Structure 1
Amino acid sequence: MEEGRGEHHHHHPLSVFFRDARLAFRWDELGKEIMGIAVPGALALMADPVASLVDTAFIGHIGPVELGAVGVSIAVFNQVSRIAIFPLVSVTTSFVAEEDAMSNNRDQINQENEHAVSDSEMEELISPEEDGATTSKSSFETDSCEVNIEQKRKNIPSVSTALLLGGVLGLLETLLLVLSAKPILGYMGVTPDSAMMKPALQYLVLRALGAPAVLLSLAMQGVFRGLKDTKTPLYATVAGDAVNIVLDPIFMFVFKYGVRGAAIAHVISQYFIASILLWRLRLHIDLLPPSLKHLQFGRFLKNGFLLLARVIAATFCVTLSASMAARLGSTPMAAFQICLQTWLACSLLADGLAFAGQAILASAFARKDYPKATATASRVLQFALVLGLLLSILLGIGLRVGSRLFTGDQDVLHHIYIGIPFVCLTQPINALAFVFDGINYGASDFGYAAYSMVLVAIVSIICILTLASYSGFTGIWVALVIYMSLRMFAGFWR
């Protein structure tokens, strides 16, 4: 593995963008593999932000105070959830991909050994009379064999470890948010006498009850990505978010629960998603390890703590931005919430390419297939650049009109129009930054990913505090552009 990575260091960094660029959109085996993972995966990632956008749209028609309050609560919930689960998901995808590749290699070797039995020896065991009977019932035997293979569940220790850690972290997150919601919201700039405090507190506490389901679902999505199956998480997430969209107006307007109704609908949908994923996973993986010694806590914690430092640094920048917007008042915060959710939802399309690259790279390194690893890195970066440019164009055309779906308040719309250029123009930067992350994770380069992000965050935090103080709402978005640009260059430098 080190040998393959060492060879890559002799090339100029720009070469990765132009390597076989003429083949970037060729529908070959590698292109099909990347798109087969990336497209369903990106849609699954998009589903939850889209559900949050639907929540935002419904709440926006209640009033700007409620919209701003929910925006702060969502920022808090996402920050804590990402800190808790993102390191686990990232290492799970790499570890499962590696273990699955090695397991498949072992199975292939065993099958080759079994087929080494001479055909002539087998023919001697079958009389001519039996031969016709064997042929006539071979279809049934083949079907039975396929059923047995499908029902044979794999033993991948990383899966059991990830699920156990995800469940424990989910329970801890619920306790933290329920017991500390008020002081956390105060830190975010929502003072006790603010009109936003009551709805923000209601939404955050109720949403926290769904944390175990959220973290378990994300851990299982990491497992499925490692298995290169992103369709199952997509189906489960779309089904759950459909439930959320149906229940939102019922709880909010029919039962008159307001923002509490949005939180309740979201929690129900998350448990529904977790149930579907768990049911499907147990059909393919033996979820109970043979013994506790097979659990890989040491391996997970070593790499997980590196990524924990990274995700704290990364999400702190976004959460600090939301906090600075909240300090400007409910109207700027409401506009920031709409722009931020749109910004993140679109950027997550690139995350689909990121973990497609991660899964394929991890498998390639496990098999020591370094040419495929290099080709995969180049291809996903080329896809990311084109995707970012397309998103910039689409958002530039549609976001100004589409913003009226979220609110009719003219002051909120004015602030949204200020944020639109930043949301649009940063899409290529965001896409490349996310894909560089996936490449580093696929190569198990968790150390560099952590240290570089901490340095980026230090510079970005200074920019956010300084620019927000001098330029208000516009300054916050300028600082976010600087933050994502630094993330991209950190990945490029490696």
Structure 2
Amino acid sequence: MGNMPLFVFFKDIRNVFKADELRLEIVHIALPTLLALLADPVASLVDTAFVGHIGPVELAAVGISIAVFNQVSKIAIFPLVSITTSFVAEEDTTEELRANEQVHEKIESGTPISKEMEMEELVPLVGKSSSTEMVKIERVRRHIPSASSALVVGSVLGVIQAVFLIFAANPVLNYMGVDSNSPMLKPARQYLTLRSLGAPAVLLSLAVQGVFRGFKDTKTPLYATIVGDVANIILDPILMFVFHMGVRGAAIAHVISQYLISLILLWKLNKQVDLLTSGVKDLRFGQFLKNGFLLLVRVIAATFCVTLAAALAARQGPTTMAAFQVCLQIWLAASLLADGLAVAGQAILASAFARKDHSKAVATASRVLQLALVLGLMLSIILTVVLQFGSRIFTKDVNVLHLISLGIPFVAVTQPINALAFVFDGVNYGASDFAYSAYSMASFGGFSEHIVPISIIKPWLCWNLGCFICLYEFARTGWILEDRNGDGTVELS
């Protein structure tokens, strides 16, 4: 039974809530990540609520602009962050093992340990005497080539994205169904062009977050994100209503918050990592591009359906687009909670692979998948109960509320499969198996285009079709973690 592909769901299932060392490590990484990931969608929900009280046209305009911005951003963000986390976790673990070996060699040879070699841990020193002394060691700033690579790639992609969206705003919005006669065109163009100025900060900050995740430090990104989002929430009403800037105020507030987050993260990262000493030959651009292309396929497949649905909703008018925007933000805020578990699984697995720790890799994969299923069921119940009564905080328009009521049940009941999909990705990325995730949802955007007439539920149908295919492949191919050679080397099969 242990070799059956679905056995991973039942392995040590009685320990799913056990407060052992593995669960504490998962919680230590996942909870701050979960809160940080939740902070941005919550800030977007606050933006949506503020804009919704200006009017349905403005709400729809902001919705279509956010759909465009997110589609372009995710093409770069998702591969960049995921690859950075895995590469940094591997390099950091390898460097730690190498440093420990050097320290132990010096201890055994009696060589004095210099101040710059000190690390924040106690290493046992066993001498000729019967007593065991403890040597306090503190690590110098890390030399992580992937961190420098991620910052360069993120900065370049951010500038490219900003230039593209600013100069192509009109044709892109026209493609999305906002033509020159639409009342949404002016506010949508204002919001999109202003928010695009923050693209370099968005990609740079997320690249840095990928580095911290690789270090299993998810608290620092959480604190930075909270500071930025609080600034966004405070600036929103001031710029929108006090200075009467409308949707422009919402965009400017968001841009300011993103640059604030970037500055905080760069300041903290520079204390831990030597960012400037790596030569060009040490940077991992080749591996970033190779694996980034694989994840790019997955991102385009996953987000194409959402962008397509937004375009169809925009063509149906401001009412449908406004309802779509509210449902989409609710779905993102709920579904991304599972990404906290995915990040925890990815970071722990990448470290376990670097250490060739087969048992921990298998235990981690089982535990995060089991917790994902539990989280998905809980989200289904919460969304079903809460959102039937909470939709009015976004708008008071009766027609918009009616369309929202059509989308909410589907958003709620699909949460378990969404949660599993996110965590499956985290497990694959932890094993640096980026190719597998690239093939799970390739052909379903166009398929759903022909079978789903209601654009309000189209993106969730597309997403879940892809997730079901991933689960089917899991069961059909025997996708399991195994030690094929008996030497502790863990592989996906």
Q: Mean Cα displacement is larger for which, 335-344 or 480-489?
A: 480-489
The answer on whether the counterparts of 1:60 and 1:66 sit within 8 Å (CA) in structure 2 is: yes
Give the aligned residue type for 1:254. Answer: V
**Residue 306 of structure 1: how far off its partner (Å):** 1.1
Most deviating of 98-107 and 441-450:
441-450
What are the Cα deviations for residues 453-486 of structure 1, in whole angstroms up to 9, with x where unaligned? 3xx23133211x1134x44545565445434433
Using the size of structure 2 for normalisation, the TM-score is: 0.89
**Kept in 1: contact 2:309–2:455 (CA 8 A):** no
- Measured in 2, the distance between the counterparts of 1:342 and 1:207 equals 21
Report deviation, 1:187.
1.3
- The 8 Å contact of residues 436 and 491 in structure 1, kept in 2 or not, is answered as no
**Structure 2: distance between partners of 1:202 and 1:339:** 23
Match of 2:178 among 169, 190, 193: 190
Give the C-alpha shift of residue 293 in structure 1. Answer: 1.1
Select the residue among 413, 436, 451 that pairs with 1:467.
Answer: 451
| CA RMSD, 1 decimal | 1.9
More helix by share: 1
Q: Percent identity?
A: 62
Corresponding position of 1:286: 274
- 8 A Cα contact 1:326 1:333, kept in partner: yes
In the TM superposition, what is the alpha-carbon distance from 1:241 to its structure 2 partner?
0.1
Q: Report the secondary structure of 1:39's partner residue.
A: helix
Distance in 1, Cα, partners of 2:252 & 2:394: 20
Instruction: Describe how 1:323-342 pairs up with structure 2 within 5 A.
Output: 323-342=311-330
1:95–1:158 contact (8 Å) kept in structure 2: yes
Asked if 1 retains the 8 angstrom alpha-carbon contact of 2:305 and 2:462, the reply is: no
Relative distance call for 1:430 and 1:488 in structure 2 (3 A) is farther
Whole-Å separation in 1 of the counterparts to 2:83 and 2:195: 26
> 1:283 aligns to what SS in structure 2?
helix
TM-aligned CA distance change 1:216 to 1:351, over 3 Å? same
- Give the structure 2 partner of residue 138 of structure 1: none
In 1, the alpha carbon distance for the partners of 2:63 and 2:225 equals 22
Aligned match of 2:27 in 14, 35, 51? 35
The residue number in structure 2 matching 1:349 is 337
Aligned length: 455
CA distance in 2, matches of 1:476, 1:34: 30
Match of 1:123 in 2: none
Matches within 5 A, 1:83-232: 83-117=75-109, 149=138, 152-232=140-220
Distance 1:487 1:73, change over 3 A: farther
Query: Could you give the per-residue CA deviations for residues 112-155 of structure 1, whole angstroms, max 9, x where no partner exists?
Result: 11221469xxxxxxxxxxxxxxxxxxxxxx99x77xx36x2110
Given the alignment, which residue of 223, 226, 231 partners 1:243? 231
* Residues in 1 aligned to 2:187 and 2:427: alpha-carbon distance in whole angstroms: 41
Q: Distance in 2 between matches of 1:483 and 1:461?
A: 12
> Which residue is equivalent to 1:76?
68
CA contact 1:467–1:478 (8 Å) conserved in 2: no
* Residue 290 (structure 2) aligns with: 302
- C-alpha separation in 1, matches of 2:6 and 2:56: 46
Contact 2:418 2:464 in 1 (8 A): no
Asked whether the equivalents of residues 433 and 491 of structure 1 are also in contact (C-alpha less than 8 Å), the reply is no
Distance 2:222 2:275 in 1: 21
Change in 2 beyond 3 A, CA 1:75/1:471: closer
Question: Residue 352 of structure 2 contacts residue 360 of structure 2 at CA under 8 Å; is this kept in 1?
Answer: yes
User: Using the alignment, how far apart are the partners of 2:473 and 2:451 within structure 1?
Assistant: 22
Structure 2, unpaired ranges of 5+: 112-133, 480-493
Does 2:39 align with 1:47?
Answer: yes
Tell me which residue corresponds to 1:485. 468
Q: TM-score, normalised by structure 1?
A: 0.89
Cα distance change, pair 262–98 in 1 and its aligned pair in 2 (3 A): same
Unaligned runs of 5+ in 1: 1-7, 120-141
Q: Per the alignment, do residues 231 and 427 of structure 1 end up closer, same or farther by CA in structure 2, a change over 3 Å counting? A: same
The one of 383, 390, 393 equivalent to 1:405 is 393
1:387 match: 375
Distance 1:212 1:345, change over 3 A: same
Contact 1:157 1:289 in 2 (8 A): no
CA distance in structure 2 between the aligned counterparts of 1:81 and 1:488, rounded to whole angstroms: 27
**More displaced 10-residue stretch of structure 1: 25-34 or 238-247:** 25-34
Return closer, same or farther for 1:378/1:208 CA change in 2, 3 Å cut-off.
Answer: same
